[in-house]
Amino acid sequence: MKYKLFELFYRLSKVSYQHFLKKNAPWSVTKEELLTYPEKTLGNDLGIFLTVNHFTMEPKLEDHDVMHILTGIGTSVKEEIAMQCYLLGNGKRSAYLFMVVLIGTLFYPFEISFFHSYYKRGRRALAFYYLDYSKLLLQPTENIRKTFKIQ
């Protein structure tokens, strides 16, 4: 029940955040176009990620899926919270991030050490959360990981 409640909260908050707070323009590329990018590039990996997970491109939230690819963090509710902890450790600061981390740790108090381990991983990486990934889609994913020490 707790899992379903948090998932509902997460989905509702993401839609509100996407429409009311994000100022960036949506990307002009489609999932199908991403799949035509050269193999092992960020663009192709994003297309594969979206396809495998049965996701669609969400306007203004494309960077979120890129974070999953670069960090290798999954998409379960617990992993979504862990990714926000990772980004907090990497230096990202936003009301949305703080809300997810706070409420996530309240809903999952026995996972705090798990979340903290992702926070520490984020601190070890060079800051990458602010990059314009739409301009890096043709870059090899592994090069981006190595450049920013993303583990």
What is the domain partition of the chain in residue ranges?
A: 2-6+32-147
pTM of the model: 0.86
Q: With both helix axes pointing from N to C terminus, report the angle between 62-71 and 42-52 in degrees, rounded to the nearest 10.
A: 100
User: Cβ of 84: how many Cβ atoms within 10 Å?
Assistant: 26
Whole-angstrom CA distances from 115 to 43, 82, 83, 112 are 28, 5, 8, 5
Mean per-residue pLDDT over the chain, rounded: 90
CA distance 63 to 69: 10
- What is the model's pLDDT at position 18? 46
Q: Is 36 helix (H, G, I), strand (E, B) or coil?
A: coil
CA distance 151 to 80: 17
**pLDDT winner (highest mean) among 2-11, 19-28, 96-105:** 96-105
Grade residue 60 by pLDDT with cuts at 50, 70 and 90. Answer: confident
